[in-house]
Amino acid sequence: MQYDVIIGLEVHAELKTESKCFCSCKNEYGSSPNRNCCPVCMALPGALPVLNKKAVEQTIRAGLALGFEINQTAIFERKNYFYPDLSKAYQISQLEKPICINGHLKVFDKEIPINRIHLEEDAGKLIHQDDLSMIDYNRCGVPLIELVTDALVEPHIETADEAIEFLTKLRQIYIYAGVADCEMEKGQMRADVNISLRPKGSKEFGTKVEMKNIMGFKSIHRAINYEIERQKEILDDGGVIVQETRKWDNDKGESYSLRTKENAEDYRYFPDPDLLAVNISNEEIQKIKESMPLLPDQLKKVFLEEYGLNEYDSDVILANKEVSDLYRACLEMYFQPKSVANWFTTEILARIKAEDKIQIDKENLVWIIKSVDEKKIRRNAAKDLLSYIWGTGLNAEAEAKKQGIMADMSSDAVFEILDKVLQEKASVVDQFKQEQDPKILNYLVGQVMKETRGKANAQEVMEKLKERLS
Ligand SMILES: [Zn+2]
């Protein structure tokens, strides 16, 4: 039987803020366990939450970057559940009136509708070691945004490839907008995936199966394809899909049932009596709009139309914000978009792939690129120089001089000698003009190289010679 596949995504991202969502504890990754905690994020009796304005601002920023409408009144609710990663036994979240509603994101050729983005607090982290379970509450109360795609309206995400493209683009947008760092290995971005199948052409939805907290895009891709196949087999055999949450085991490449799915009513949401409704003014929204940096799609337009780069080079540079920031900073000093891009798509990216970190500043990089363009250093020598100073803080120019890799003569001095040779060899020049024999050109270049004692760039001499004789 043929099926339509409907994939829904719920994506959590930790916001970039100084402090937590409802208290003044630091929002910081990697501190020693239970260091950034206080009575508020632990919900000790009598402690009252105070909303962090910056967290609301960041949520609005995320919404605007994805074309959302901003609700001018948003409310916080308590989502009740008992689990040791949250000492409150409830999570402050939003159900009825989230901050952002009705956004969209273009995935390949489809504009995927997004239902909402709401602001909530993150839970702590459980660490299991042998027989022991430990809890680190540092993450409790860290501002978290949850984005939910709208699987009830067309079009849907239908394949694993589309889901990954969606997540990749979303991550890029959050990073470029300055909303979140989204470092996957730090758990700063996490995705839950739900999947349902229905007979091709049917309007009714099938039963959803959810997979929570799958680590990494590659695992998500595998997990989706596995789940589609699993449901197909059950349906083809005349079975029924059980509404449940399944856990993906990436080592085994399969999933197993975790629990049958709870519905929203199981959480007994109710408005948090300790928090006032959030009022967001038009002026506030306008201010955030005006401070929005250029996002990947806008930058790509600039790269293609103003810089004349091709699609591939643009995508490669834009894939990493640090790389594209450095690229643009270099252009501010030396506006040769293609020549600079050439270094980025080869030398710089190769190093970043290996080390995950840019270890050269724009001044030194521009000096190297420019020196090659001006033929002061040969390309291969420049590549070696880049490797040599990468990560050391050494100065490119000083190092080039020290290593003696700079062309010894300035172009002007070389051209003077060229002109002298042309005068002396006037008869050879005449002969060339009649016969157009390339051997004669080689002979003249050789004469110049001899005069300069090999200190000129032969290729440059040849180009200049052709120019003179044309
Ligand atoms: Zn706190």
Cα of 387 from ligand 1 centre, angstroms: 45
Do 204 and 162 share a domain, yes or no? yes
Read off the pLDDT of each residue in 266-286 and give the average, rounded to a whole number. Answer: 94
Task: Give residue 248's domain range.
Answer: 3-284
In a domain, 289, yes or no: no
Going from the Cα of 20 to the center of ligand 1, the distance in angstroms, rounded, reads 7
Ligand 1 mean position to 143 CA, how many Å?
12
Residue at which a domain ends, from 261, 284, 307? 284
**Position 230 confidence tier, pLDDT thresholds 50, 70, 90:** very high
123 is a domain residue = yes
446 and 386 in a common domain: no
In-domain check, residue 419? yes
Say how many Å lie between the CA of residue 30 and the centre of ligand 1: 16
Mean pLDDT, all residues of the chain: 92
Please check whether residues 163 and 180 belong to one and the same domain.
yes
Judgement on whether residues 380 and 244 belong to the same structural domain of the protein: no
Whole-angstrom Cα distance, residue 4 to residue 206? 10
Q: Is pLDDT at 454 greater than 70 in this prediction?
A: no
Do 392 and 330 lie in one domain? The reply is: yes
Query: Where does a domain end: 221, 249, 284?
Result: 284
- The model's confidence at residue 264, banded by pLDDT at 50, 70 and 90, is low
Cβ contact 123:85 at 8 Å: yes
**Domain-embedded: residue 201:** yes
Measured in Å, residue 41 CA sits from the centre of ligand 1 at: 4
> Among 250, 284, 318, where does a domain finish?
284
Let me know: does 447 contact 418? Beta carbons within 8 Å: no
Single out the residue of 217, 218, 225 nearest to residue 255, CA to CA.
225
Whether 234 and 276 map to the same domain: the answer is yes
- Residue 177: inside a domain, yes or no? yes
Q: What is the pTM of this model?
A: 0.85
On whether both 374 and 458 belong to a single domain, the answer is no
Counted domains in the chain: 3
Distance CA 93, CA 106 (A): 27
pLDDT in tens, 368-420: 999 999 888 888 889 999 999 999 999 999 998 888 787 766 777 788 888 88
Ligand 1 center to residue 49 CA distance, Å? 9
Nearest to 340 by CA among 327, 350, 353, 352: 327
Distance 378 CA to ligand 1 centre (A): 57
- Cα–Cα distances (Å) from 295 to 80, 214, 291, 301, in that order, read 37, 27, 12, 10
Q: Are residues 351 and 260 in the same domain?
A: no
150 and 15 in one domain? yes
The rounded Å distance from CA 175 to ligand 1 centre is 25
CA of 90 relative to ligand 1 center, distance in Å: 15
> Which one has a higher pLDDT value, 167 or 185?
167
Residue 299 lies in a domain: yes
- What mean pLDDT is predicted for residues 226-246? 94
Residue 308 lies in a domain: yes
> Residue 326: what pLDDT?
96
Q: What is the CATH number of the domain that holds 456?
A: 1.10.10.410
